[in-house]
Amino acid sequence: MKSKAELIVISSTKFGENSIVLHTLSREYGRRGFLVRVSPKTAMALFLPLNILEAEVTENPKSELWFARNFTCVSPLNSVRNNIYKNTMTLFMSEVLFRVVRDQTCEDCLADWLKGQILTLDALQGDYSNFHLLFLLGLCTALGFSPGMEDLSPFVGEWYTSVEALLTRPFEEAMLVPLNGAGRNEIAESILRYIAHHTESSVNVRSLAVLRDIFA
């Protein structure tokens, strides 16, 4: 059966000589991998992490790997793609999602929430160096375990006051909570440990070190 779906790219993996597996999140299918045929003429930039695409999906009841084709870009994310800081954030966000959200997890609100996060990052101006921390806290809620300071306290240690500010202040104010690169890195690691505890997953996110360096 063929249908149209809006897919958010999490990552892609080479599969054979002429295909990739596109790992995606969507309202219709949750997290699912799709087999995509590619050629030297394929615009591979379409499949950058967190791109929002519309595609024709062919379901295959005999296999967990379905097909997707005829991609169009729903939102170009020009601000993200032309900004090394925002682009690095999308790499971090997509890596976290790849490690935390299990295959065939299907929750409508998760895809809707993620799309909102991506478009918010694209639209942001000024100081957005705390955005990935708010993303992690929001992801907890989207996954169904809304964080409170009582729950977070064993994980955040000396950063309790800063995390409380990030968690409780309005978005615009939380974005301005004063932190340096090392502090943001430690807070991100603590929230990732909290997420790993609740999801029973290994959350070793390599791109976090890159974020630490560029926002130092």
pLDDT at residue 107, rounded to an integer: 67
Q: Where in the chain is the domain with CATH 1.20.1440?
A: 78-214
Give burial (CB, 10 Å; 0-12/13-18/19+) of 24. buried
Q: Where in the chain is the domain with CATH 2.40.50.140?
A: 2-75
191: its two tokens: 């929230």
**Cα separations in angstroms, 80 against 6, 90, 188:** 19, 8, 21
Q: What is the CA radius of gyration of the chain?
A: 18
pLDDT single digits (tens) 121-164: 999 998 899 999 999 999 999 998 888 899 999 999 999 999 99
Distance separating alpha carbons of residues 76 and 91, to the nearest angstrom: 16
List the end-to-end C-alpha distance of the chain, in Å, as a whole number.
50
pTM for this predicted structure: 0.93
CA angle (7, 52, 50) in 5-degree steps: 100
Instruction: Provide the pLDDT confidence category of residue 188 given band limits of 50, 70 and 90.
Output: very high
Class of domain 78-214: mainly alpha
- Whether residue 103 has pLDDT greater than 90: no
Distance separating alpha carbons of residues 10 and 99, to the nearest angstrom: 10
Answer yes or no: CATH 3.90.50.10 is held by domain 2-75: no
